[in-house]
Structure 1
């Protein structure tokens, strides 16, 4: 069974579009992962600095354009919670990245297979 040139061209174009979209999304996900990892590292550094302070040290957190006195334990708890949330986000982005890379790889393989077979089904 042979596929017409028109149908073959349309199929290749659709697969190529899917591959390009996957490639763009891969770049976006990698950028998001890097951003979240940087943010997580800053939170961890802040948390380690706060944990070295004596318990009675006044600590201020920025809220809009002002600073509010906060207990060290509250600040540390918030930093750890935000770090956990970012870890979860990075893990989910890693799964999404793996899916997109697989989709891209499969698209490229399909295109190669179509050209290798010359449109024969």
Structure 2
């Protein structure tokens, strides 16, 4: 009987460690989602502001620590491309979040089952 209790304790400890890891992963993904949404909003705001200007307006874009003159159309296209990349990354992060949440829920249910069976 002692071996069975030791095995249950070991399994329970491993599952608790996995629970902590999934929780950390979930918090990290949520932070990435917030960061992604913030960056996407910045790009969208910049694009809206650029629409107010004529195509002949001189514009500059940053390259490292310096600025280079660029076509306003090219800057808009670059922003649109960046927005699409942010949207794709957001979708991928949401899928990852759902996957981790599902694993976390399953693990918590298993932990509850182990606790009930140990009683």
Answer yes or no: same fold by TM over 0.5.
yes
For 2:26 and 2:82, the matched residues in 1 are separated by: 25
Q: Corresponding residue for 1:67?
A: 67
Cα RMSD between the aligned structures?
A: 1.1
Q: Corresponding residue for 2:108?
A: 108
State how many pairs are aligned.
117
What TM-score do you get using the length of structure 2 for normalisation? 0.95
- 1:54 is paired with a residue whose SS is coil
Q: Which runs of 4+ in 1 moved over 6 A?
A: none
Deviation at 1:118, TM superposition (A): 1.6
Where in structure 1 are there 5+ consecutive unaligned residues?
A: none
Q: Corresponding residue for 1:19?
A: 19
Where in structure 2 are there 5+ consecutive unaligned residues?
A: none
Deviation at 1:14, TM superposition (A): 1.1
What TM-score do you get using the length of structure 1 for normalisation? 0.93
